[in-house]
Amino acid sequence: MSPDRPTKDPTPPPGGNGGDAEPISREAYVRMHGDPRFVGLKKRLYAFIFPMSIAFMAWYLLYVLMSAYGREVMGTVLFGNVNVALLFGLLQFLSTFGIAILYTSYARRKLDAQAVELRDELQHDAMDKESGR
């Protein structure tokens, strides 16, 4: 999304900001939503989420299509009672956990520090406004 384009009016989280801190005004949320640092943070988040979601959906679709149309391949016995279909199914679970681990690592490296900084700034501004500074 371009900074020149108007953004959707963000809605504050239900119940305020979720902590003991001063309530954050709607205007503060709207202002933060347009902040270039916040926009950059969203872009970095989307840079992970969209490609990973597409890759996972393609992987899952391959599993479904192979189960429907590649029965001979999926029925190939690898060893004992384990066939390709069972291996694909287990790999679906492993890939889900793998993506969760990758996301955690990505978020720690690329997102968390700035997200905390922006949240603290938003809460600090709310406290300053409340105290009349």
The model's pTM: 0.70
Residue 28 has pLDDT above 70, yes or no: yes
Position 51 scores a pLDDT of: 96
Query: Residue 2 half-sphere exposure, CB side, CA atoms within 13 Å?
Result: 2
Sign of CA dihedral 95, 109, 35, 124: positive
Higher pLDDT, 50 or 29: 50
The predicted structure's pLDDT at residue 22: 62
Distance between CA atoms of residues 4 and 54, nearest Å: 28
Structure tokens at 84: 């390709």
Amino acid at 121: E
Query: Using one digit for the tens of pLDDT, what is the confidence trace for 47-74?
Result: 999 999 999 999 999 999 999 999 999 9
The overall average pLDDT reported for the chain is 83
pLDDT in the model for residue 1:
47
Concatenate the DSSP letters of all residues of 61-108 into one string: HHHHHHHHH-HHHHT-EEETTEEHHHHHHHHHHHHHHHHHHHHHHHHH
